[in-house]
Amino acid sequence: MENMEKYLAAGEFIDSGDAGVRAFADKAAGAGDEVERAVQLYNAVRDEVLYDPYYAGEEPSYFRASDCLKAKRGFCIPKAALLAAAARAVGIPARVGYADVRNHLATKRLIELIGSDVFLWHSYTELFLGERWVKATPAFNLSLCKRFGVRPLEFNGRDDSLFHEYADGGRRHMEYVQDRGAYPDVPYELIVGEFRKLYPRWMSYVASNGKGDFAKEA
């Protein structure tokens, strides 16, 4: 079996040793077996931390689990890192995975800033449960899903939880274009390097303290 030590240790971005992360994880996980605790952690990260693509930037703080928790908002990369950190804090091996996705329900404004409806390095979490890796995507909080008319992603700890291909009414939602694999910690330099090159308008906008209300744009 694969050595789980690196998936239980604190990392620079999956900073499971942070006091705030540990307190959050202990409270959110509650009682129950490992799967039940993982599900509770997923629900807490999904709904207590708002998805916000405008709360972003090149600084490491925008990618780190503990900073995402303090801000109570972040985009998919720090939210996935937070779920991984919370899982490690309660003894569940975890890592982060990435894929390029075509987001058919992105807002007009965000697509204009990105310059495409293809979003690189979309992140999810992989948890080692029942002797195998299970994918969980905590990005979109429940209230945001309601505004978009998208069914919220549920996670049962046994089956992969990835974005539905179709939203309510048969509209296409999320299409996976390319799998980028899983990592023991956020590959910050690699991601930021590609964001600088391919998303200059978005990076410039958030760097100038650009604000937005993604929920109202939905």
pLDDT recorded at residue 186: 98
CA dist list (Å): 26 to 16, 29, 84, 89, 118: 12, 6, 14, 8, 36
Cβ atoms of 42 and 160 within 8 Å: the answer is no
Q: Say if residue 9's pLDDT is above 60.
A: yes
What residue type is 79 in one-letter code?
K
Which of the following CATH numbers is that of domain 5-217: 3.30.420, 3.10.620, 3.40.50, 3.30.160? 3.10.620
Around Cβ 178, how many Cβ atoms within 10 Å?
A: 11
pLDDT recorded at residue 209: 67
Write out pLDDT tens, residues 37-89: 999 999 999 999 999 999 999 999 999 999 999 999 999 999 999 999 999 99
Write out pLDDT tens, residues 163-185: 765 555 665 567 888 999 999 99
Task: Output 164 or 193, whichever has higher pLDDT.
Answer: 193
